Amino acid sequence: METDKLELDEIKDGVRKYWDYGSRFYDTAPGYDGDEERSLWKDYLSQAIGLEPKEILDVGTGTGAIALLLAELGHNVTGVDFSREMMEVARKKALDSSSSIRFLEGDVENLRFEDATFDCVTGRYVLWTMTNPEKAVREWVRVVKPGGMIVIIDGKWVTKGLLPMLSVGTYHIYRFIRCGKNPFAYDYTRDISAGLPNPHGVEKEQIVAYMSGAGVTGITVTDLEPIRAVQRKRLPRYMKYANDHPTYLVSGITPKKPQDDGT
């Protein structure tokens, strides 16, 4: 994994530390990563990106879930994240699967790539963690070739109602017993949340607005309910409400001319 020292502000450093800690537990959530779900993810990614091999940047790559699937589909993948511990998990998974993915430590709101370097940028469950999501999306557009693809996968993580709240509480007890994860450290601190425009997830309409503002066209929104349904089948009963949040894949085409980043 390539790395150099990152200079992060207080909010970003807090986000990074949160995910460094979370790297020990991120892949332990029950109900994820079965063969049926992996097949669905591959289908959705192929529909959005196409079948021809491409140079793809996976921003906020985390433990490498999407990067690994893209590599299996035959793409050349670079993963970027500022959580070194999350990427260490991703690197080990890539080695185990003999996937040649390049992992770089970096701030995905300030990428260190030339304009028009990639054919596509993907980002799953990362936009909601951005301190400046408008800038982030413009930056992702900048590094994609004109007419390339932007694929953003995200969701709204707010839990409402007594039953979902009880399910979430039970889930955190489960993680504490199984993994030793502190049940009182499963969310950002108040200061970090105050510094994020979307601390509890991002609505699909907002993603479309960010992408449109960056000049992306031909935007489509796909509800990922089929993936959530597969996940629910594999979850224990006490977890079925905790993870049933709206999730969606939003994709579009980068502009033919580079966009002014507005900074």
Q: Read off the pLDDT of residues 185-230 as tens digits, 9 standing for 90 and up.
A: 667 888 999 999 999 899 999 999 999 999 999 999 999 999 999 9
Does residue 248 fall inside a structural domain? yes
- Residue 185 is predicted with a pLDDT of 65
φ, ψ for residue 33 (rounded to 5)? 75, 25
Does residue 4 fall inside a structural domain? no
- Residue 236 is predicted with a pLDDT of 76
- Residue 163 is predicted with a pLDDT of 66
CATH number of domain containing 124: 3.40.50.150
Higher model confidence: residue 72 or residue 168? 72
> For residue 188, what are the contacts with CB-CB under 8 A and spacing of at least 6?
14, 15, 18, 196, 199
Does residue 126 fall inside a structural domain? yes
pLDDT digits over 117-150, tens only? 999 999 999 999 999 999 999 999 999 999 999 9
pLDDT digits over 44-75, tens only? 999 999 999 999 999 999 999 999 999 999 99
Does residue 114 fall inside a structural domain? yes
One DSSP character per residue, 223-246 reads E-HHHHHHHHHHS-GGGTTTT---
Residue 35 token pair = 């063969």
> For residue 133, what are the contacts with CB-CB under 8 A and spacing of at least 6?
127, 197, 198, 202, 210
pTM of the model: 0.90
- Residue 30 is predicted with a pLDDT of 64
Higher model confidence: residue 25 or residue 192? 192
Q: What is the mean pLDDT of residues 179-187?
A: 69
102: domain range? 10-253
Q: How many CB atoms lie within 10 A of CB 201?
A: 18
Domain count for the chain: 1
Q: Which of 188, 202, 210 is nearest to 259 (CA)?
A: 210
Higher model confidence: residue 157 or residue 54? 54
Does residue 5 fall inside a structural domain? no
Q: pLDDT category, 27, cuts 50, 70, 90?
A: confident
Does residue 262 fall inside a structural domain? no
Does residue 259 fall inside a structural domain? no
Does residue 209 fall inside a structural domain? yes
- Residue 3 is predicted with a pLDDT of 46
